[in-house]
Amino acid sequence: MPPSPPLRLLAALAVGAFLGALLTLPLAARRVDTLTLLATDLLRELAEVENELARLREEPPGSVAVYETRLELVDGRGQRLPQATEIVLRQQLEPFAQRLVGENVYDLSPAVVRDLFDQRRLQVDETLYRVTVESMVLGPRSLLRLRVEPVPTAPGTGSRNGTG
């Protein structure tokens, strides 16, 4: 007596599932091996980083010097200044930025650095500009974002110019 059609379908389903599992097993095994190796490498790297962190916590670096100070000049709307104005202002502000080069980063006071630039008034042609420190990042490569806006000059008012 031949097997019934539902029994044949069930047998075909079982054979298909068996063949599918047989074909995907090597691929899954390879993927598991790859993930195991990757996890081992990541755990080793994590242990190295944790050891380095522990070492740095025990003996923090003695000094890190500023080796570059970059000025970013923007107008009141956060846009770049006209190129000619920016060049003249950079020539006047760069000496102040260069004072930071060589200084120990850990000894720099953000308030002192801010005071070096903030509210400074600089003359470009017939226009007087006021510099305001918007933000700064102090580190080996320091960045100061300075807002530069023209100010109306009133007769008899003193100004802090870029000469000192």
Transcribe 107-142 into DSSP letters.
Answer: G--HHHHHHHHTT-EEEETTEEEEEEEEEEE-SSEE
For the chain, which residues make up each domain, given as ranges?
A: 1-60, 68-151
Confidence of residue 153 (pLDDT cuts 50, 70, 90): low
**pLDDT of 164 above 80:** no
Confidence of residue 73 (pLDDT cuts 50, 70, 90): very high
Across 15-30, average pLDDT = 86
From residue 119, alpha-carbon distances to 6, 116, 162 in Å are 89, 9, 11
DSSP 3-state of 13: helix
| Average pLDDT value over all residues in the chain | 87
CA gap 38, 44 in Å, rounded: 10
**In this predicted structure, what is the pLDDT of residue 101?**
94
CB 96 within 8 A of CB 134: no
Q: Quick: pLDDT tens for 31-41.
A: 889 999 999 99
Confidence of residue 163 (pLDDT cuts 50, 70, 90): very low
Across 60-78, average pLDDT = 86
